[in-house]
């Protein structure tokens, strides 16, 4: 069965870095667009970044452009989100999700059929 498992969250100081991992099983990455989303306390879930099945198409939310980088390792069937220059407002639970339309690079949650359980990222001094 298709499964997504996030890891790599934690507590980091402002200006620091973290790398999140999204390990996929039950499918290969080239068949899906993989997206990262986040939800802060009291706020709606929002899209952060996504990577198309080809590995070429990428999209980033304006709030993270220039600071976050999405990538993948096909051999490990894992997608990464490198987060640099972290800010307190990046604090949230981060989720990865899979969109069966592998050519799409939008961050509309309605297009993502499969979700991981989330990993907590806290940016605080």
Is 102 in a helix, a strand, or coil? coil
How far, in Å, CA of 74 to CA of 100, rounded?
17
pLDDT given at position 106: 95
Structure tokens at 70: 């999405």
- What pLDDT sits at residue 26? 93
Question: How far apart are alpha carbons 32 and 97 in whole angstroms?
Answer: 9
Q: What is the pLDDT of residue 33?
A: 97
Question: Please, what is the Cα angle at 27 between 21 and 31, to 5 degrees?
Answer: 95
Find out whether 122 and 91 touch, Cβ atoms under 8 Å: yes
Residue pLDDT, tens place only, 9-44: 999 999 999 999 999 999 999 999 999 999 999 999
Average pLDDT, the chain: 97
- Give pLDDT, residue 117: 97
DSSP the chain: --EEEEE--EEE-TT--EEEEEEEESS-GGGSEEEEEEE-TTS--EEEEEE-TTS--EEE-TTTTTTEEEEEETTTTEEEEEE-S--GGG-EEEEEEEES-TT-----GGG--EE---EEEEE--
At 40 the pLDDT is 97
Ranges in the chain, pLDDT < 50:
none
The two structure tokens encoding residue 98? 């899979």
**So what's the pLDDT on residue 37?**
98
């Amino acid at each position: 069965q298709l499964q997504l498992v996030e890891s790599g969250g934690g507590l980091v100081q402002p200006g620091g870095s973290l790398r999140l991992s999204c390990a996929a099983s039950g499918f290969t990455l080239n068949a899906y667009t993989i997206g990262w989303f986040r939800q802060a306390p009291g706020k709606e879930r929002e899209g952060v970044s996504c990577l198309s099945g080809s590995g070429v198409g990428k999209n980033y939310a304006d709030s993270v452009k220039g600071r976050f980088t999405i990538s993948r390792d096909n051999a490990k069937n894992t997608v990464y989100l490198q987060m640099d220059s972290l800010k307190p407002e990046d604090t949230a639970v981060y989720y990865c999700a899979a969109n069966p339309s592998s050519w799409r690079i939008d961050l509309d949650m309605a297009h993502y059929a499969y979700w991981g359980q989330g990993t907590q990222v806290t940016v605080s001094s």
